[in-house]
A and B are shown apart, each in its own frame.
Chain A
């Protein structure tokens, strides 16, 4: 579909369903602040939905989708929220604005209510793995978001709720029963820093979410899981959620930071190499400057001797024409060399940043 055109997005979203009374479309900015509300908000939230408020204030389970970092289209799993069952479509356009379409599917779900209830029932079978725990998850099927939900009791025990996400069942089966804070910390020592923070949040009774930073678990060998914990409240009860993050969820993705740090290291290496090169160039210029300087005097002396000889009429008269010519061209060659050396000297000093005010004048006559 064409993500660029909002009209298309609305049409696309509404085309999915027919009953406008049971639909709600919310547009948010990348941070999840509501920009526009289309449809029937009353039907979906007890509190009055308002623009300029964070959408997660009304629907906390959307928290992990904001802020939006890239355009994408997602069908969210069915959620049970405030007596409603909802399907949600999330479309993030090129401007990272999100369109969220909520559809009430309670009726549809009610038809199979009995079966669902049956599924959620306590299913501790003999000699088989525990998949569900005794209590329903008041937030709905958060397991579909890779979230495991714990109810925190007044005695600081943690009770897993609803369906356990498969990653949790696979790697942390020891925690699928009522656990003490110590048990939890033994498996997730990181929570030591989050639980005090969570505790103060639970005391506020706020029904929004408060999240931890990311931490890493190595349950087996090479497997590396990135996790985040959240504290939330509902109906005076305290909940702890632990979510497995997939690649897209990591705020500034792993790869970006990895690349940036690699680039920084490379840059530092290049800088080091450049410094070395500058040093070498400096030595070269210094060398040329010193050598050309030291060559000046002896070369100038030789030129003087040649000049002296060429003015000695008595000597010249003893020479053949051929020898005299050789003598003359020798002097010219020497002069050329001297001039060349002189230029080299000044050039090297320029490179070294030494001003050539001490330039000496040479008589260059032939």
Chain B
């Protein structure tokens, strides 16, 4: 899970793994790893989800965290347009570290769509990344499962 702080990385993992959501913001300091077993097309897959602390001036994402990964999410917060910039930077970091591995772009907090700063034109431009863009909500659970399954499928290919 990559993205700047407070975009909802931890919330998305919590929604997916434990089906819970909290409004309270408890920033992740350090790295948190969760495990989830899923059934996918009759295969049992164990996902190791690395919830990496938010990228900002306090904590930088280290290449070492990315090295062993077989896929990743870039998470943006629809209500904060400036989350795009960090997202794109992290995407570049991964590509420069491990090359082209599957990823999915998540624009989170779709339940707050009327307060979004990220516009349809922005999304149109993000399509240049050439990957799936999924609008999620960790709060309502919208498209969360779908997003994880989508990435898993891409990783298994």
Where the two chains meet, the residues of A that have a C-beta atom closer than 8 Å to any C-beta of B are: 189-190, 192-193, 197, 213-216, 218, 226, 250, 252, 254, 257-258, 260-262, 264-265, 268, 272
Contact check, B58 vs A214: say whether CB atoms are below 8 A apart. Answer: no
In chain B, residues 19-47, which have Cβ atoms closer than 8 Å to a Cβ of chain A? 25-33, 35
Q: How far is the CA of A179 from the CA of B137 in the complex (A)?
A: 41
Contact check, B56 vs A189: say whether CB atoms are below 8 A apart. Answer: no
Q: Point out the residues of chain B lying under 8 angstroms from A216, CB to CB.
A: 28-32
Contact check, A193 vs B58: say whether CB atoms are below 8 A apart. Answer: no
Q: How far is the CA of A260 from the CA of B62 in the complex (A)?
A: 21
Across the two chains, which residue of chain A brings its CB closest to B68? A192
Contact check, A257 vs B48: say whether CB atoms are below 8 A apart. Answer: no
Given A197-B64, A268-B82, are A261 and B29 neighbors across the interface (CB < 8 Å)? Answer: no
Q: How far is the CA of A189 from the CA of B5 in the complex (A)?
A: 23
Contact check, B68 vs A214: say whether CB atoms are below 8 A apart. Answer: no
Contact check, A213 vs B26: say whether CB atoms are below 8 A apart. Answer: no
Contact check, B5 vs A190: say whether CB atoms are below 8 A apart. Answer: no
Contact check, A261 vs B27: say whether CB atoms are below 8 A apart. Answer: yes
Q: Nearest chain B CB to A142's CB is how many angstroms away?
A: 21
Known: A193-B64, A218-B32, A261-B27. 14 other contacts (CB 8 A): A189-B33, A193-B68, A214-B30, A215-B33, A216-B30, A216-B31, A226-B29, A226-B30, A254-B29, A257-B58, A258-B29, A261-B58, A262-B25, A265-B25
Partner of B62, one of A213, A252, A262, A264: A213
Q: Nearest chain A CB to B64's CB is how many angstroms away?
A: 5
Contact check, A268 vs B29: say whether CB atoms are below 8 A apart. Answer: no
In chain B, residues 128-153, which have Cβ atoms closer than 8 Å to a Cβ of chain A? none
Q: Point out the residues of chain A lying under 8 angstroms from B29, CB to CB.
A: 214, 216, 226, 250, 254, 257-258
Q: Nearest chain A CB to B122's CB is how many angstroms away?
A: 16
In chain B, residues 32-76, which have Cβ atoms closer than 8 Å to a Cβ of chain A? 32-33, 35, 48, 54, 56, 58-59, 62, 64-65, 67-68
29 residue pairs from A and B, CB less than 8 Å apart: A189-B33, A189-B48, A190-B31, A192-B68, A193-B65, A193-B67, A193-B68, A197-B64, A213-B30, A213-B62, A215-B30, A218-B32, A226-B30, A252-B58, A254-B27, A257-B29, A257-B58, A257-B59, A258-B25, A258-B26, A260-B58, A261-B5, A261-B56, A262-B25, A264-B56, A265-B25, A268-B80, A268-B82, A272-B117
Which 8 pairs from chain A and chain B are nearest by CB? A214-B30, A216-B32, A215-B31, A193-B64, A189-B33, A261-B5, A215-B30, A216-B30
Across the two chains, which residue of chain A brings its CB closest to B63? A193
Partner of B32, one of A215, A260, A264: A215
Q: Nearest chain B CB to A250's CB is how many angstroms away?
A: 7
Where the two chains meet, the residues of B that have a C-beta atom closer than 8 Å to any C-beta of A are: 5-6, 25-33, 35, 48, 54, 56, 58-59, 62, 64-65, 67-68, 80, 82, 117
Q: Nearest chain A CB to B28's CB is how many angstroms away?
A: 7
Q: Point out the residues of chain A lying under 8 angstroms from B82, CB to CB.
A: 268
Q: Point out the residues of chain A lying under 8 angstroms from B32, CB to CB.
A: 215-216, 218
Partner of A258, one of B27, B33, B56: B27
Q: How far is the CA of A218 from the CA of B17 in the complex (A)?
A: 13
Contact check, A214 vs B25: say whether CB atoms are below 8 A apart. Answer: no
Contact check, B31 vs A214: say whether CB atoms are below 8 A apart. Answer: yes
Given A252-B58, A258-B27, are A265 and B68 neighbors across the interface (CB < 8 Å)? Answer: no
Contact check, B31 vs A213: say whether CB atoms are below 8 A apart. Answer: yes
Q: How far is the CA of A190 from the CA of B52 in the complex (A)?
A: 11
Across the two chains, which residue of chain A brings its CB closest to B65? A193
Q: Point out the residues of chain A lying under 8 angstroms from B26, CB to CB.
A: 258
Q: How far is the CA of A132 from the CA of B107 in the complex (A)?
A: 50
Q: Point out the residues of chain A lying under 8 angstroms from B6, CB to CB.
A: 261, 265
Q: How far is the CA of A265 from the CA of B58 in the complex (A)?
A: 15
Q: Point out the residues of chain B lying under 8 angstroms from A218, CB to CB.
A: 32
Q: How far is the CA of A101 from the CA of B82 in the complex (A)?
A: 50
Partner of B54, one of A190, A214, A254, A261: A261
Interface centre among A218, A252, A261 (most CB of B within 10 A): A261
Q: How far is the CA of A258 from the CA of B26 in the complex (A)?
A: 7
Q: Point out the residues of chain B lying under 8 angstroms from A257, CB to CB.
A: 27, 29, 58-59
Q: How far is the CA of A218 from the CA of B56 in the complex (A)?
A: 24
Q: Point out the residues of chain A lying under 8 angstroms from B56, CB to CB.
A: 261, 264
Q: Point out the residues of chain B lying under 8 angstroms from A213, CB to CB.
A: 30-31, 62
Q: How far is the CA of A143 from the CA of B126 in the complex (A)?
A: 51
Q: Point out the residues of chain B lying under 8 angstroms from A214, CB to CB.
A: 29-31
Q: Point out the residues of chain A lying under 8 angstroms from B64, CB to CB.
A: 193, 197
Q: Nearest chain A CB to B83's CB is how many angstroms away?
A: 10
